[in-house]
Structure 1
């Protein structure tokens, strides 16, 4: 019985050692796992922090770039606005000078007409004697009928010049082109100019046109001025009588010259590409009506 007890006691001691060793091994594995997990979590946090910092730097760079681009655009826009303002002042000064020149020419013409009237009788007598000598060089006294085309043409031109008249009560204007009005006449309040991105007064109507489209004379008149302006491009001014003038802008390939007479519906020019003042509005005709040098609403006079 004693021997059996000794064997039993030895087995129990070995089992205890094995259990203890297993527990130690488990503890070591657990510690290694915890260290590894803790290390991985720390690395993950560091990686996330680095990504966040990189994203913040990228956002800061993008914001700085956007602010720089915005500042550049504002500077460019300010420069363009100043250039356009200078161009408008130049055009206004040129228009004022042209009006003064026209007034001087009118005064000179009036003086010339007065002086010419005084010598009409003597000139007519001499002209009649000369014509009679051409018709009857031999002095026979016979009546001879000649082709008076040249004299008739001259008389017609004078008659046409004298007959220039326009009355809003009895006369109406033709549309220069058959497009829609894309910008109304407005001198009592400002209107928005898309290309310029600003509000300003508009002394004309801007009529939509097609490139190379025929632009017609809105009324009988005489071409008094042809000029190229920065805002309206090639521009034609016509006198239609009684202090009324018509101004056509954004033209090209003019078949007329200063001094020519046009009937209503005849070609003044053709629609050109828009100037840089009207790029967003597209091809158009600038049509202005003036009375004694002041712009009036064309819509009240158009058919």
Structure 2
């Protein structure tokens, strides 16, 4: 049984209010309602009586309330025990990072960490957010740098760091490659390479929204999974791509990266980067990494 759905059930059962329950879980009410419906479908029974003015437990909901509470508590104890075992067995600080953070954030951060805390050994894992967060919950990772999902697991603490700057990746012989900046309107007829939304929703949605805000429709020529694949496709002339500026650190011959032109009073930098760790856990090495990041956050942000 999905413990996240049980946590949603318990929040509504305790507060008897979907809006306040969603707020306590850092979720949208619609997302919370969807999780409750999935749980009800799985159990083949209604758990709440809902009207426009009130929420109440059904007989079935009241019957399973304490069992659900016990299951969630047991899952939390198991998670804590596994994290403790892994910590004793492997005193290495295990850090997960999405590709742009692995290319841009981590080299700078690890350099400062080695200077401030030379005894801390770091193991870096580069993956997508959808793969990093489950590893965080299982205890396989101690902290991750990722895009926070729309539905945030209440067991995870997310701390927004900054927004990565978006740039255009294009062949070096493309006419726009010689411009100091590129406006979205310059890309009106350009074939685009975009990430798969299922695995990279933030990067995918950024491209689509930039065109919509300009009154245009993105002309998608190719969908690709990985950033290095996207950049290599740009080099072959398949299309252009809007990517985080740190992607320029992926050295591919024949590709230039040009900043997007930002209209006055607006920002196109909507690729949020956050640090995430398991809520309620203590880790001196993780705290040292975060403190080092705080000490150098401005200079790292300026490079993003």
- TM-score, normalised with respect to structure 2: 0.23
Query: Which has the higher relative contact order, 1 or 2, with Cα contacts under 8 A spaced 6 or more apart?
Result: 2
